[in-house]
Every structure is written in C-alpha cells, then in structure tokens.
Copies of this chain bind each other. A is one copy, B any other.
Amino acid sequence: MNIDMIEAAAARLQGHARRTPLLSSPFLDEIAGRRVWIKPECLQHTGSFKFRGGWSAVSALEPEVRARGVIAFSSGNHAQGVALAARLHGVSAVIIMPSDAPRMKIDNTRALGAEVVLYDRNSQDRDAIGAELSQARGLTLIKPFDEPQVIAGQGTAGLEIAAQAAEVGVTRADVLVCCGGGGLTSGIALALEAKAPAMRVRPVEPEGFDDVARSLASGGIERNNRTSGSLCDAILTPAPGVLTFPIMHRLCGPGIVVSEDEAQRAMVAAFERLKLVAEPGGAVALAAALYHGDAIDGDDVIATISGGNVDAHVFADALGRFGGKA
C-alpha cells in the first residue's frame, strides 16, 4: 500500500465518485471550543464512503475477471457501494447480508441491482455461503476493508481532505475517522502522510466495540467480544484487519471511544447545524469532535461523517431524545 495506489484510485474515481465538500458551522465550533471541519461522506453516492472503495476495487479488476461478476459480505454500506459500482460497470453483484441489517440497506442494495443473499448471523456461516457461490459462478470477492484496492479507494477521501483543508488554511489538525475494520482510517492516514504530514488521524469507535483503540494501545490486534447490539451497525467489525492494522499502528494517534448517546446527539447536531443525515456509526467522529475535546489537540479538528444510511425510526428516535439540545 502506498500513495501511488491511492492516486491511481483517485484517477479511476474521477467523474464517478463525488468530491464531497468540507463543511463547517459556527454553532459546532462553539460546542467544540475549536474550529470543526466536516467531511460529509453521507453525500457520497449510495450514502457512504464505501462507494469509493467499491468503485476502486471493481474498476481495478481485469475486464474478463470483472465480467464474471463480484461478491461481497456486508451489513449494508459496502453492499451498496459494491452493488452500484458493479452496476455502473455492467457486471453482476451478489451481496451476502445479515438478515438483521437495517431495512433500508437491504432494500437499497436490491434496488441497485444486486442479488442479495440473507443469512442468520447466529446459525449460518456466511463464509461458507460465500465460498460456495463464488466457486460456482466464478465471482470475485470484494472484501470490505482488508483489500488493497478498497483501502486505496477510501484513501481518496484523504486526498480531498488534505486539499480542502489547505484551501481554508488548515494544515495541522487531528482528523477523526469513524472506524470499523479500518479501511477508511488507514486509507486516509496513508493519504495524509503524503499530502498533509502535520495532520494526525484518530480512529473513533462506539463503546463496547473499541477493538481498534485497544489494538493501538496494546500494539497487537485485539478483538471485540460481540459484533452486534449497537446502533452503530456500520462499524461493528470483529477486529482490525491484517492489512489495515499495521498502517493504523504506524500512522494513527490514540483511538477515541464515544457512547451511543453521544453518537445520537451528534446525529442531531448534524441535522440541526449541517442539514445532513448521519447514521449512528457515521456520527461517532463528529461526537468525538464535539464532546471529547479534551482528547483532541489543536485549534482545528476535522471529522468525517462516514455515512447516512439510517432507518427513519432510528433517526426520529434520536431527534426525539436530543432535538433542541444537541
């Protein structure tokens, strides 16, 4: 993995992925006690940064391999990213999703033309299901994070952050990234190492699923005890990846852990102050920026909103709990 792969991915994404803006609000600055800059990947195609990695990986395949189709495992955002990338390349996609994934994510993945295979997280082996399908049809597996072209694609968000922050005069800041398996985090870290070396990436996770924070602290890969039971469905992975962890270990500052309540409050802050829809897992970095200022250094902080694919009732619950008081 190196910056050249990220720049090559950026060239392949040109004209296909959105260059999301860098936003701010004086109200958020006031809450945080420093300037807060938001990279809203909820505005990316399919509603999350995952389209970047999906496009990067699908576009990097040899045409005759790609033509046989792709397969992915995902609770939702990677599913949609790969599904749309495959459709736009004119190839088929099979997505294996847990049956308890958010309704919107399952529906969207189907609507984007993918064949969705649901499995029961508790009783079925998704890897076995996937292996059988791949073999039978010659599908190429697109892993959600531990895959170089996926990391390179997510890293294109880091190239944009470096350029957009420089435009507003910011070259030194903690860059808070919503972190599951570490694809986005490691990709952004690699991009910033090359393009904005005075910035420091900080992975942000929800309480109870802080495998990356613990891994960074211990220096070895630590696992979560569970991978469900949080609103932050998008970022509940068992452990950092074999590819992503060494990158994060080399380049990232300490992880930050936020509560589910803080994630919901941050969703409401994004609603009220940015007019953006963030999903719970996509709001943890903003939560850290707003409510964990003590853990952050500097006059500026940059926070990703990694996705916005949230069911209406979950969003309404957050509004009911924290509307007017985020």
Residue of B with least CB distance to A277: B275
Which of A194-202, A219-227, A311-319 lines the interface with chain B? A311-319
Main secondary structure of the interface of A (DSSP, over half): helix
B275 touches A308 (CB 8 A): yes
Minimum C-beta distance from A234 to chain B (A): 13
Q: A27-B111, A324-B103 are in contact. Are A312 and B275 (CB under 8 A)?
A: no
Q: A21-B21, A43-B275, A308-B275 are in contact. Are A319 and B313 (CB under 8 A)?
A: yes
Q: Does A292 contact B (CB under 8 A)?
A: no
Q: Does A60 contact B (CB under 8 A)?
A: no
Query: Which residues of B have CB within 8 Å of A40?
Result: 275
Minimum C-beta distance from A93 to chain B (A): 15
Q: Does A23 contact B (CB under 8 A)?
A: yes
In the assembled complex, the Cα of A97 lies from the Cα of B264 at a distance in Å of: 31
In the assembled complex, the Cα of A23 lies from the Cα of B276 at a distance in Å of: 14
A323 touches B311 (CB 8 A): yes
Q: Does A18 contact B (CB under 8 A)?
A: yes
Q: A275-B43, A275-B277 are in contact. Are A323 and B312 (CB under 8 A)?
A: yes
A313 touches B308 (CB 8 A): no
In the assembled complex, the Cα of A18 lies from the Cα of B313 at a distance in Å of: 31
Q: Contact check: which of B42, B103, B104, B319 meets A315 at CB < 8 Å?
A: B319
B313 touches A275 (CB 8 A): no
Interface residues of A in 85-111 (CB under 8 A from B): 103-104, 108, 111
A8-45 CB mask vs B (1 if < 8 Å, else 0) is 00000000001001010011000000000000101100
Interface residues of A in 40-87 (CB under 8 A from B): 40, 42-43, 47, 84
Q: Does A146 contact B (CB under 8 A)?
A: no
Give 5 A-B contacts (CB < 8 Å), ordered by A residue.
A27-B108, A27-B111, A271-B312, A313-B319, A313-B323
In the assembled complex, the Cα of A278 lies from the Cα of B27 at a distance in Å of: 19
Minimum C-beta distance from A99 to chain B (A): 18
Residue of B with least CB distance to A48: B275
Query: Which residues of B have CB within 8 Å of A324?
Result: 103-104, 311-312
In the assembled complex, the Cα of A312 lies from the Cα of B315 at a distance in Å of: 10
Q: Contact check: which of B21, B42, B319 meets A18 at CB < 8 Å?
A: B21
Interface residues of A in 278-326 (CB under 8 A from B): 278, 308-309, 311-313, 315-316, 319-320, 323-324
In the assembled complex, the Cα of A111 lies from the Cα of B111 at a distance in Å of: 43
Residue of A26, A275, A316 contacting most chain B CB atoms (<10 Å): A275
Cβ-closest 7 pairs across A and B: A312-B323, A275-B308, A275-B277, A312-B319, A42-B275, A316-B316, A316-B319
B276 touches A275 (CB 8 A): yes
